[in-house]
Structure formats: C-alpha cells, structure tokens
C-alpha cells in the first residue's frame, strides 16, 4: 500500500483517539491488521492531552505530534541543554522509553545479567557456556551465548589480535552483553579476555550484582595438551604471534565470583544465583 492513508489507533478509554498519517509504503506486518487503508493497532496505548492531536509519520519515518491547527506539539527539535558528547559522538541525547528494564524482567519472569566466562584457549569456556545455556533453557530461562570466535565472524571481523584490537573486541562484546542483560536475557559471554582492565571495564558497565565473572582455572599445560583447535601447536611453531599463554600474557582474575577448577556443570549452576 502506497500513498497517504489513515490509520486509527485504538487505545484504552482513558486515552484519546489518535490518527496516524502515513506517507510511505507500509509493509504487511504480523501485528498490523490491514484493511484497505485502515490499520488497527489494538494494543497500542499512546497518551495525549487532546483528542484533536495527530501523529504524523513523514517519508523519513520521523514521528511528530501535531494538533488540529497543524502546529507541532512534540517535534524533532532537540533540547540543546541535554545534548552530550560521548567519545567521538557529538550532539547526542539519550531517549528514554516507557518500557523499562524492570518491565522486561517481569515479562520474562527472570532478571537479566551477564555471566562472563574467561580463561585460556582450551580451558573449556565455550563448552561450559553452551552446557550452562542448555541447562538454564531446560529450566525455562532465556539465555544467549556470545562466543568470542563467533563474534569475530561478524561484529568484530575487522579486529585483529594486537593489544588495542583485543581491548576493542572486549569493549564491543561488553556493550552488547549489557544490552542483552537490559533486555532481561541471561547473557553468557565466553571469550579469553586476557586483560584484567578490559574485564573490569565490562563489569563497570552493569549495576552491582549483574556481572558474574567465571574463571576457568585450568593450567596452561593442560590447555596445551588438549589443544582442540591446534592453535598451541601453531603458536609454538611461531606461525601464530601474540597467542595468549605463549607469547602474550593472560592476567588471572582476582575477585571472580566463580572459579571452575573442574568441569562440573551442576556445581556451576548451583553457584550461580541467577536462575
């Protein structure tokens, strides 16, 4: 459907009727009931002060609230007093939504958090992450695993393994994990994350108690004997430079919430109080 159509928003009786003016192509979506030019949004509640107010969606998909005289009552003009500069991003403003973290937690019947599994290559991080995810799934909990190698297939494929790239790799994953936790998901991050300051930076992104550091305390000689990917052999032969544990350091966690000496999934589940 193209051209200008009119959509009626049906809200609770305490909310006035709003009309959504559309000037762009409207796709057929599962939550929209299409009837010629009519779209009925049965569950959407929009609070307005006047029944003559209208919501308009322009070609650039920007929403503005206007009254019957056509005067904007909530335009895209930004309050300059609240603009921020974060890193290299300037003139930005945090936009809050009425659906908050606690609302999502109540919907899912769980509290979102980040379980950060760190350790040497071959220590069993990915194995225990997936096992933990499976057990929590069987208990009716929504989880998502952020595996270090998997993330480098997409989001972080532009990063190498130099110190600065490793730091950026961890920072990005930390930010993604924070979003998952905010959404109410139990996010299990599984990656070497060799530097203590980078892990601590990720911890600082979340409220106290929402970041659970799990240290896979497996000695180097055990990990090297396992060598499931053959990476230690390549590193010893000089074919891989900057390999953690061989010619690049791994900084052992000091205050991790969980320390895994042996692969014991049930013990790990019992130790984590996020069920």
The set of catalytic residues is: 193
User: Which DSSP state fits 58?
Assistant: -
Cα dihedral value 181, 185, 189, 195, nearest 10: 10
Report CA torsion sign: 44, 47, 52, 53: negative
Long-range contacts of 17-21 (CB under 8 A, 24+ apart): 17/51, 18/46, 18/48, 18/53, 18/54, 18/55, 19/54, 19/55, 20/54, 20/55, 20/56, 20/57, 21/54, 21/55, 21/56, 21/57
Torsion angle of the four alpha carbons 170, 172, 176, 179, in this order, in degrees rounded to the nearest 10:
110
| Distance in angstroms (rounded) separating the CA atoms of residues 74 and 64 | 6
């Amino acid at each position: 459907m193209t051209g200008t159509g009119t959509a009626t928003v049906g809200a609770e009786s305490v909310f006035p009727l709003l009309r959504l003016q559309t000037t762009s192509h409207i796709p057929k979506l599962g939550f929209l009931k299409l009837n010629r030019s009519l779209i009925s949004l049965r569950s959407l509640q929009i609070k307005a002060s006047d029944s003559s107010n209208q919501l308009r969606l322009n070609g650039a998909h920007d929403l503005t609230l206007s009254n019957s005289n056509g005067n904007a009552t909530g335009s895209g003009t930004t309050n300059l007093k609240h603009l921020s500069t974060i890193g290299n991003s300037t003139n930005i403003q945090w936009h809050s939504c009425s659906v908050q973290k606690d609302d999502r937690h109540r919907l899912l019947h769980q509290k979102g958090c980040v379980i950060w599994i760190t350790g040497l290559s071959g220590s069993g991080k990915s194995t225990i992450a997936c096992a933990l995810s499976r057990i929590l799934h069987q208990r009716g909990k929504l989880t998502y695993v952020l595996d270090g190698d998997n993330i480098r297939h997409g989001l972080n494929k532009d990063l190498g393994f130099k110190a600065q790239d490793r730091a950026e790799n961890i920072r990005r994953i930390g930010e993604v994990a924070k979003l998952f936790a905010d959404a109410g998901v139990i996010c299990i991050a599984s990656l070497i994350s060799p530097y203590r300051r980078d892990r601590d930076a990720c911890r600082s992104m979340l409220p106290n108690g929402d970041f659970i550091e799990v240290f896979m305390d497996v000695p180097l000689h055990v990990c090297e004997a396992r060598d499931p990917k053959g990476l230690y052999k390549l590193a010893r032969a000089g074919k891989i430079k900057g390999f953690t544990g061989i010619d690049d350091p791994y900084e052992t966690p000091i205050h991790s919430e969980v320390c895994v000496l042996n692969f014991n999934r049930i013990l790990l589940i019992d130790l984590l109080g996020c069920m």
